[in-house]
Amino acid sequence: MEQADVRPAGLDQVLRRMVVDRQVRIAVLEQAVAAREDAIAARDRTIATQTDMLGDQVEIIEAQHRQLEGQRGIIADQTARLAACAAQMAVLSVEAARLPAVASSLTWPDGPRAIRIVLPLARLIRTFTRR
């Protein structure tokens, strides 16, 4: 014998209503989950973009660092050249201090008259050496 469904008609409607309500809640929750997944995906894209930008900035900073190292090398070379020039200036200033003494030793107290005395003798020697 088969048992007849003895549920009251109102109970069947209540159960259907509960099933529909559950399906609606599930649909709402699925939409919320999908929205959260979209938000997470958007954040992931933002993070990826920012990571790429940071990578680019790191490359720029490294290039600037290499450029600064090159400029430091140039500055070091110029500093060495400047030190060499300073040493050479010190040597030249000592020699320049001696120049007034040399100039005073080259002055003739009598002027060119002292040479006039020996000029005839120099001409005579020149004529004898040419022959």
* pLDDT for 10: 82
Which positions of the chain have pLDDT values less than 50?
1
* pLDDT for 6: 59
Buried-exposed string 61-77: b where 16+ CB fall within 10 A, e elsewhere: eeeeeeeeeeeeeeeee
pLDDT tens-digit map of 44-58: 999 999 999 999 999
- What lies within 8 Å, CB to CB, of 114 at 6+ separation is 108
Q: Identify whether the C-beta of residue 114 lies closer than 8 Å to the C-beta of residue 108.
A: yes
* pLDDT for 100: 84
* pLDDT for 61: 95
How far is the CA of 35 from the CAs of 32, 38, 39, 61, in angstroms? Answer: 5, 5, 6, 38
* pLDDT for 1: 46
pLDDT tens-digit map of 55-71: 999 999 999 999 999 99
